[in-house]
Amino acid sequence: MPLDMVPSLSPPAPDGGPVYWLVFAGGKLLVRGDKPPRLAEQAAAAALGLAPDKALYVGLWQGRPCFTLEVDPNAPAPEGHDWHGLYGLAMGWSEETTFLAGRAKQLLAWERRNRYCGCCATPMEDNPGERARRCPSCGLVAYPRVSPAVIVAVAREGQVLLGRSPRFPAGRMSVLAGFVEPGETLEQTVAREVGEEVGVQVKDIRYFSSQPWPFPDSLMVGFTCAWAGGEIEIDGQEIVEAGWYGPDSLPAIPPRSTIARRLIDQVVGSGAKGPGGGWV
């Protein structure tokens, strides 16, 4: 976990120092209009009429308290601030800042989805002492959801297998990824997803690292593996274009703040870059 961020349940007593606010409206985050954009602070929250007692406490960011809250999707941004999509910010922010904003976004989504019990429809309450919601009627306890997914770099003779999702514009490519299904190990998911999406077999599956990914509530678990057979046959749904790329032939690829980019660098070398050094 990034050292800049310390998750906790209860905020410290006010001391007059900076307080960060992660305010979302219609899925977009309020940021200061700097280059690069920076997190909003207490003055912006006050301009929107927000108070800590109406917000979720996220934890400490660089030693300072952070709160998060959703406002009306049509709320105007305070002077000097803008609303930005979190995915776009994540492409340029540090991993630590992305982790903080992603945690806030996931906590808000979890609270919104658990206002009522999924078993008996009774209004849920906070469960003291832990990040959980509890039904006072039937006792159901709901914790923040985390959906595990694998992301994998397949290597073949110094090249990496990249694919393009239909969500990407032409020219943008990344490593393959997919959600874990019930009853699967992570390694089985790697083999299944690669086989389903591009039709090749893999071997030597090894854990690489992981990264929280709040789109919407994933934990991306990274792996490397080697090509074991088969030629590329795209499924045409999850992947609409795929190919093998070396360090001198890469398309536009994710920025270095992402686990996808680190996986690519692991296979083809850390000096590799796509056109313009990657997408933003």
DSSP per-residue codes, 105-160 = HHHHHHHHHTSB-TTT-PBPEE-TTSS-EE-TTT--EEPPP-EEEEEEEEEETTEE
Kindly indicate the confidence band of residue 66, based on its pLDDT and cuts at 50, 70 and 90: very high
Interval 23-41: pLDDT, tens: 999 889 999 887 778 889 9
Question: Judging by beta carbons within 10 Å of its beta carbon (0-12, 13-18, 19+), is residue 16 exposed, middle or buried?
Answer: exposed
Angle in degrees, CA 88, 216, 147, rounded to 5: 135
CA distance 252 to 279: 6
In sequence order, the β-bridge partners of residue 28 are 25, 85
Angle in degrees, CA 60, 64, 68, rounded to 5: 60
Considering the chain, tell me which residue range(s) the CATH 3.90.79.10 domain(s) occupy.
5-113, 147-277
CATH number for 5-113: choose from 3.40.190.10, 3.40.50.300, 3.90.79.10, 3.40.50.2020.
3.90.79.10
Write out the CATH class of domain 147-277: alpha beta
Cα→Cα distances 97→4, 102, 226, Å: 8, 8, 33
One-letter amino acid at 225 equals C
pLDDT at 243 over 60: yes
pLDDT at 97 over 50: yes
Interval 103-158: pLDDT, tens: 999 999 999 999 999 999 999 999 988 999 999 999 999 999 999 999 999 999 99
CA distance 272 to 248: 7
| Model pTM score | 0.84
